[in-house]
Amino acid sequence: MKLRYASVVAGLVASGAIGLVLTARAAEPTQTVKPAISPEASAALEKMGKALSSKEFSFKAQTIRVYQDEDGQPLHIFHMMKVDARRPDRLAVHVTGDDGSTELLYDGKTVAVVGADERKYASIAAPNTIEGTLDEVSDRLGTDFPLADFLAPTPAKAFLAGVTTGKELKPVTIDGVSCRHFFFTQSPGMELELWLENTEQALPRRLIVTYRLLPGQPNFIAEFSDWNLNAHLADAAFTFQPAAGSTKIELEPAGAGRNK
């Protein structure tokens, strides 16, 4: 999993850039040993990956970012996210939360990030895949979409990228649904907990990412719901039309965000 530092931004920030429940990219881990992932964990992730390979799907997620402020106090930021995806080249993400509302709309040619509350937006030419487009947005804004692994062409492989250990824990029940609980580690100092529904599809139900080496050991929490793997999404769901009176924000050149 391409893990991220949990400094989530939503809406428009003072600098004029637009964020979308995005997180700054951490250094990619260097894997020097063969991953020690249990057969049960590997098999469950393969089931998840097969289910999430659907051409068209949607889901909702309530996310919580827990971080340490300048006084060392733990603070929490809540967001509700609705995601619609049509592989290989359509994506719509709608976010509302404590710090405003934001949208990302990708129609196969252009991606727009919209700060609805401030009536500002950024729009750029996009690659012809969801994965490439999220990388482009990351490059231009210096940020990442924290749930991008679940949208990758091979979700299980994306999730396990950089993971060094993985095992299954005791099962739990979440909102009346039986779920399997898994724990993974990723160097340096990253921990992942993933709950998958105890079904053949093994859909994600909860994800917690903890950053042990960062001040306050911040984490990112996502609670998933309303999975629809047979969605029929119209082109209009991914098309952006600027509202009257909106202002376009010019983004930095590609590569500038990552070098900060």
Based on C-alpha coordinates, what's the Rg of the chain? 18
Q: Which has more confidence, 44 or 20?
A: 44
- Please determine, for residue 14, whether its predicted confidence score (pLDDT) is greater than 60: no
Question: Are 180 and 18 spatial neighbours (Cβ–Cβ below 8 Å)?
Answer: no
Please report where in the chains the tokens 């009346």 appear, as a residue. 176
Q: What is the pLDDT of residue 3?
A: 44
Percent of the chain whose pLDDT exceeds 90 = 60
pLDDT at 188: 83
3 state DSSP class of 82: strand
- pLDDT for 31 beyond 70: no
Q: What is the pLDDT of residue 144?
A: 64
Amino acid (1-letter code) at residue 253: P
Distance of CA 21 to the CA centre of its chain: 8
Long-range contacts, stretch 167-175, CB < 8 angstroms, 24+ apart: 167/37, 167/38, 167/40, 167/41, 168/38, 168/40, 168/41, 168/44, 171/198, 174/205, 174/206, 175/225
Alpha-carbon distance of 246 to 257, in angstroms, equals 24
Token look-up 């793997």 returns 229
DSSP output for 187-225: TTTEEEEEEEESSSS--EEEEEEEETTSTT--EEEEEEE
User: How far from the centroid of its chain's Cα atoms is residue 257's Cα?
Assistant: 18
Q: Which pLDDT tens digit goes with each residue over 43-85? A: 999 999 999 999 999 999 999 988 888 888 888 999 999 999 9
Could you read off the pLDDT of 181-207 as tens digits, one per residue?
999 999 888 999 999 999 999 999 999
CA gap 78, 72 in Å, rounded: 19
As a whole number of angstroms, the distance between CA 23 and CA 219 comes to 11
What integer pLDDT is reported at residue 218 of this predicted model?
86
Residue 18 is predicted with a pLDDT of 45
Rounded-to-integer distance, Cα 23 and Cα 247, Å: 24
Q: Provide the pLDDT for residue 183.
A: 98
Instruction: Answer for the pair 160, 45: CB distance below 8 angstroms, yes or no.
Output: yes
The 10s digit of each residue's pLDDT in 92-147 is 999 999 888 899 999 999 999 988 676 889 899 999 999 999 998 888 876 667 79
Residue 97, Cβ density class (10 Å: 0-12 exposed, 13-18 middle, ≥19 buried): buried
The structural domains of the chain, ordered by start, are 9-255 (2.50.20.10)
Q: Which of 28, 31, 6 lies closest to 19, judged by CA?
A: 6
Q: Residue 30: is its pLDDT beyond 80? A: no
**131 Cβ contact partners less than 8 Å away, ≥ 6 residues apart:** 148, 151, 152, 153
